[in-house]
Structure 1
Amino acid sequence: MTGGGEEVTTGRYPVLDVREASDVWSMLSLTVPGVEHRYETGPDRRRTAWMVHSDGSWARAVGRWTDPPTVHQGGPRRLWTELERTRNRLNTEGGLPVYGARVRIAPDGALTLSRGSWSVTVA
């Protein structure tokens, strides 16, 4: 993941270590399951985050401290875009629906979590 990517943009939010933000990680794990995360802090407060998925999707974001990052993405899905959608929901609504969600377990063992208009099924 060192190439330029199919899409290069400027992110809305500073680079985040998703694994250290349990609310964001929980929500993202349900909406885009199977994403692996890596995070590194380098010289001059430079932060880099990588996201990869087995379907070939990937994202790399690099930024200094609280500056908006440069984001490179490739593959069939835009993983950083999904992360920013989750962060925007958190900032707009003050919380994520994964917390306080109702759980329904189907006879086949599938879980459906729901809260308000949001729902996700985990098979």
Structure 2
Amino acid sequence: MINTKDMDAVFQALAHESRRRMLDIVKEEPGIGVGALASEFDVSRIAVMKHLNVLEDANLIISEKDGRTRKLYFNAAPIQMIHERWTTQYSAYWAGQVTRLKYLAEARHETETANKKKGTGK
């Protein structure tokens, strides 16, 4: 279970549009270097580094030193832990309810379609 401090760090990291975009880029290009990532933004490299520090503090980005390059990788575990906190115990129940609703709606649609065909002689 993710603790409150860690969860707050994840929410804070995800609150900024640029950091969410950084996560998208790192997710799509695992191992991207900091320089290549910084070139995707119209802000200074220092600003990008500050955002990366927030993402690393939230454990959403893992960096690996490779010579003079820092390779970046997306870590989905903190987001998954937050998701599981609120959904695990209820997901089976609600999945069943949604499935039940789907079948009821389909049955009603079929009944209405059949009734319309009878009424029009089709």
TM-score (norm 1): 0.24
Higher relative contact order (CA 8 A, sep 6+): 2
TM-score (norm 2): 0.24
Greater radius of gyration (CA): 2
User: By percentage of residues, which structure has more helix?
Assistant: 2
User: By percentage of residues, which structure has more strand?
Assistant: 1
